[in-house]
Chains A and B, each alone.
Chain A
Amino acid sequence: NAGVTQTPKFQVLKTGQSMTLQCAQDMNHNSMYWYRQDPGMGLRLIYYSASEGTTDKGEVPNGYNVSRLNKREFSLRLESAAPSQTSVYFCASSAPTGFTDTQYFGPGTRLTVL
């Protein structure tokens, strides 16, 4: 049971390049999330998928697209990378716990856009 996995671990892009960050979970969770983390800003939600086949915008969706490929996989795409997208990206999935869901995070992808 690997939990939540992300690829790649590190990536350097030039401005204008595109790339897709991959995320997979093997915990049979319905909900998945993409966050970015910048120094002093905490974690901010980019997009989420409450269930297979649905996706919705979070707090900072501009410049990103997502695909919920199946129940296990949720990818994040940067179509035209900008230096402002330099960040650490975390994928998470969640399972019901009591009154709410508990989220479990992947190891993160460190992205630098030059």
Chain B
Amino acid sequence: QKEVEQNSGPLSVPEGAIASLNCTYSDRGSQSFFWYRQYSGKSPELIMSIYSNGDKEDGRFTAQLNKASQYVSLLIRDSQPSDSATYLCAGPTMIKAAGNKLTFGGGTRVLVKP
């Protein structure tokens, strides 16, 4: 069983609408989560990280973490065509004295239609 699960999509949203992406995880010990955005043919870039239960807002992005239910979500408000990309959810596992292993979900492809 994959440790981090995402719906592969595509999630199609009209321009200006809210895109809602979900991610579930199995490791109850995970303390923090990351959302990466990946444009086609490019590398993942970090857009949000969240460590605590509740919401974290950064511009048009809001990340939500619910540790009891083991899910994390990402909301994109006022979606723009430039938001069309694959969004990867990742949760870390601490390794030895430093660093962490990130377990990635398969990604959700988002298409924002003008």
Contact = CB atoms under 8 A, between A and B. Distances in A.
Interface of A: 30-31, 33, 40-45, 48, 50-51, 54, 56, 58, 90, 94, 96-108
- A interface secondary structure, majority: strand
B97 A50 contact: yes
B32 A48 contact: no
Contact of B8 (A40, A56, A100): A40
Nearest to A43: B104
Interface of B: 4, 8, 31-32, 34, 42-46, 49, 51, 88, 90, 92, 94-107
Residue with the greatest number of chain A CB neighbours at <10 A, chosen from B31, B102, B105: B102
Contacts of A44: 104
A108 B106 CA distance: 17
B32 to A, nearest CB: 5
A31 B98 contact: yes
Contacts of B97: 50-51
A8 B100 CA distance: 26
B98 A42 contact: no
17 contacts: A30-B98, A31-B98, A33-B99, A44-B104, A45-B101, A50-B97, A51-B98, A51-B99, A94-B99, A94-B100, A98-B51, A99-B31, A99-B51, A100-B92, A101-B92, A106-B43, A108-B43
A107 B42 contact: yes
Given A41-B106, A98-B51, A99-B51, A90 B43 contact: yes
